[in-house]
Amino acid sequence: MANPTSTPQNGAERHLVLIDFDWEDADLVPELLRRPGIRVSLVAGESHDDAGIRVAALCGVRRTLDLSDLTRDIFDLALVGERSARRGQVERLLTALGTPVDSPSSFLGRAEAEAASSPAPAEEGGPPAFLAAGHAETPLLDLDSAATLTPTGAAPATPAEPGTGREARLLALEQALSQALPSLTELSFPGPPVAKDAPAEVPPVFERVSLGPIPTPADREGLARALGFWAAISGASSAEVVVSESANGVERLAHHGEEDRLLAALVGAAVAQRIPQVVTRRSGPGSGRTWGAWSFTIGERSVVLGAAGIDPDRGPAFWEQAAEALAGEWKRVPEPAAAPRAAPSHLGPVGPDALRTALLAALEGNRRDGLRYEIHRLRFGGAPEVVETLAEALSGVLRATDHLCRPAPLELLLLCVGSSGSYTHVRRRLLAAWERSWAGSGESGPAPPIVDEFVELGVPEDAEEFSRTAGEWLTPRGTAVS
């Protein structure tokens, strides 16, 4: 994915971050460093042996192996290596941060085209700071031609040994840099210390990254935003947090992304067994990706954090860290986490005006945080008195985030946060309450079936139909009861 880049105004420098440059990209680094109006602020890679990291060390540019460092600075543009194995994950994180993304070759090609189509500006100032006074700039050499030249430009006395691979390419690049940046020979950019008899390099351990502020259980919008940020970092397609209580069953506190059946199954298993459930798919959709659910307890409650389709290399450890952070924060302030579920502030059915206010809040929550909502129109048979009894009974079993309205004697409107998966638990309680209300009314025979229509607000494009349908259902067709 390449986003258009913008030209800096008023001569301001553009701060760039270079990510996952391989050997085919690395010979562009000196060219980027010499470009006027450009400042390479950071180079990121996966290991100290990455070409981009090694060239950054030679050039004295700040470098990192931790993607969370991308959140600590504001960059005007990110150049991501076209052959990066984690390009999709990096692009999702940068998109969440609002940083434009481009590839090195397309960026330089576009910059050269712009320079060729505009008159050359008058020279201002001197050469870049990293060029020592008295040294002339020389044309940039590519790695293949540099491998056949000595630092003076003459052919080497002894041809390079074939098959030298990465070390030969690094030597060639150092020769090219010695021509383009001669002052670098006077500087020292030490890499990580390595003992002479050091053993073979082992894979790096997982480095804990910043998760940002940890929301409380009551801050459901904050939880949804945190899930979205964590999903962007780990490459997850969806994530959720649920809480289980013996008295109230299982309730979803927050959700991000699409519904996922495998994730729902793992979360259910983690709730029942209270141990982590982690699987990696070997075939089918998402092959090679990991699904997981991590559980912890707060008092009498069991909480499960789950994520779907995550990067198997560092994703599981990342989400385990997130679960530990939630557990630590919620145990530190146990009152909101361990207290029984608060009763809704809107006891009993609300009036049409109150439901319209809740609908506006739902539209804003979907637009700002991606929260999903459903509004259900429930139509009943029988006497209006039975529906009235049901409406009063539902106030004791609905969630604090649900809103119930009775626009007509034999109709109820129910606004729920979450999609059909979370509504399943609400509907089970609804049917049980309807059976009890019917039996208590003295009516003969089984309770009539409930006609259940609904419209979903999943993405901002659903807002128009959602608002129109909800408005039609709120139109009085009898006496609304509040």
DSSP string, 81-92: -TT-TTHHHHHH
Name the pairing type of β-strands 301-310 and 290-298: antiparallel
CB 64 within 8 A of CB 73: no
Question: Which DSSP string corresponds to 309-361?
Answer: EE-TTTHHHHHHHHHHHHHHHHHHSHHHHHSPPPPPSS-SPBPHHHHHHHHHH
State the sign of the Cα–Cα–Cα–Cα dihedral 468, 473, 477, 478. Answer: negative
In the chain, where the domains are located: 14-186, 223-338, 352-474
Q: What is the pLDDT of residues 30-53, one digit of tens each?
A: 788 888 888 888 999 988 888 888
| Closest to 227 measured CA to CA, from 250, 245, 253, 249 | 253
Answer with the residue of higher pLDDT: 425 or 256: 256
Q: In 3-state terms, what secondary structure has residue 302?
A: strand
Task: Give the model confidence (pLDDT) of 156-198 as tens digits.
Answer: 444 444 445 656 666 666 665 555 544 433 444 444 554 555 4
In tens, the pLDDT along 323-351 reads 988 888 888 764 443 333 444 444 568 88
465 pLDDT more than 90 = yes
Q: Average pLDDT in the 355-378 region?
A: 84
Q: Tell me: pLDDT of 91 over 50.
A: yes
Task: Say which residue, 284 or 276, is predicted with more confidence.
Answer: 276
Quote the mean pLDDT of the chain.
75
- Fold for 223-338, please state it: Beta-Lactamase (3.30.450)
Confidence of residue 372 (pLDDT cuts 50, 70, 90): confident
The stretch 270-294 carries a mean pLDDT of 85
Sheet bearing 451-457, strands edge to edge: 403-408, 411-417, 373-379, 451-457
Joined together, the tokens standing for residue 478 give: 């009898």
Chain segment 407-454, per-residue pLDDT in tens: 999 999 998 876 556 677 778 888 888 988 998 888 888 889 999 999
Tens digit of pLDDT for each residue in 99-142? 899 988 888 877 666 666 655 544 444 444 444 444 444 444 44
**pLDDT tops 80 at residue 355:** yes
**Residue 24 in 3-state DSSP?**
helix
Structure tokens belonging to residue 61: 């540019």
Q: Specify whether the CB–CB gap between 331 and 298 falls below 8 A.
A: yes
Could you please state the CATH topology (level 3) that the domain comprising 14-186 is classified under: Rossmann fold (3.40.50)
CATH 3.30.70.270 applies to domain 352-474: yes
Whether the CB-CB separation of 68 and 46 falls below 8 Å is answered with no
Q: Give residue 477's pLDDT.
A: 59
Strand partners, 414: 376, 404
Contact 179, 152 (CB under 8 A): no
* 3-class DSSP assignment, residue 214: coil
DSSP secondary structure letter of residue 374: E
Task: Give pLDDT tens digits for 188-236.
Answer: 444 455 455 545 544 444 455 667 778 888 888 888 888 988 888 888 8
Q: What is the pLDDT of residue 154?
A: 43
